[in-house]
Amino acid sequence: MKLENKVAIVTGGIRDIGKEVSLKLAAEGAKLAINYYSSSDQAEDTLKAVKALGAEAILVQGDMTNQQDVQRLIDETQSAFGNQIDILVNVAGGIVARKTIAEMDEDFFDHVIKLNLNSTFLVTKACVPFMPEGSSIINLASQAGRDGGGPGASAYATAKGAVMTFTRAMAKELGPKNIRVNALCPGMISTTFHDTFTKDEVRGNVAAATPLRREGHPAEIGDIVAFLASAESSFLTGVNLDTNGGLLFS
């Protein structure tokens, strides 16, 4: 197991991509602190699945845009597993709603930015002092950060584009400490995100235009995260990895 005895924090780690990330890291031997915001029943189901793989894990409820909740996540992780944090995966985020610029107000725009960008900043800042050499940070950006997103996703795309830039900046800043920082930019992944916010017709059109002719699966994102968390990717940092079945190249 390539992550044996490593301590990992996964924000937004109980459903879809976050859940598959938690399961994959657990299968590779990591000890997990899994953050969630709501849906305690779903959180318990994810914890049960992680523990079924033989992993040590805890759940920590909290809003990752709130500094006190972020600090509690760090405190409970260290109480369970010790001071060292080896892996951070920033999954927490979301589109919230599709709105054109005419439909959104400043409060909505600020909320989407905070949910996706500020959360990544706050958790990263809190974790870095406890990350030893060889640690890895993986951020979840989006194809929207590359191409501006679909209709009504301008705030989300802007936030994810900022996550990509933050990833590059942190790779430079933390590289001398041998802490690697990378991001994934998923395209159309089969999740409740798209079940809620993307029409079936649009999903079908995107899949048909994708060279692999399908949507991606959350487990495939989990596999890539595990690779980026491990020593197998020890010379990769500052990468915003396109994960879209060939739909968009960068």
Q: Could you give the residue numbers annotated as active site?
A: 156
Q: What does the alpha-carbon distance between residue 122 and residue 188 come to, in Å, rounded to a whole number? A: 27
Task: Judge whether 178 and 134 are in contact, CB under 8 Å.
Answer: yes
Q: What would the DSSP string read from start to end of 105-128?
A: -HHHHHHHHIIIIIHHHHHHHHHG
Q: b/e per residue, 134-147, with b = 16+ CB within 10 A?
A: ebbbbbbbbbbbbb
> Which residues, in sequence order, are bridge partners of residue 248?
none
Q: What does the alpha-carbon distance between residue 43 and residue 48 come to, in Å, rounded to a whole number? A: 9
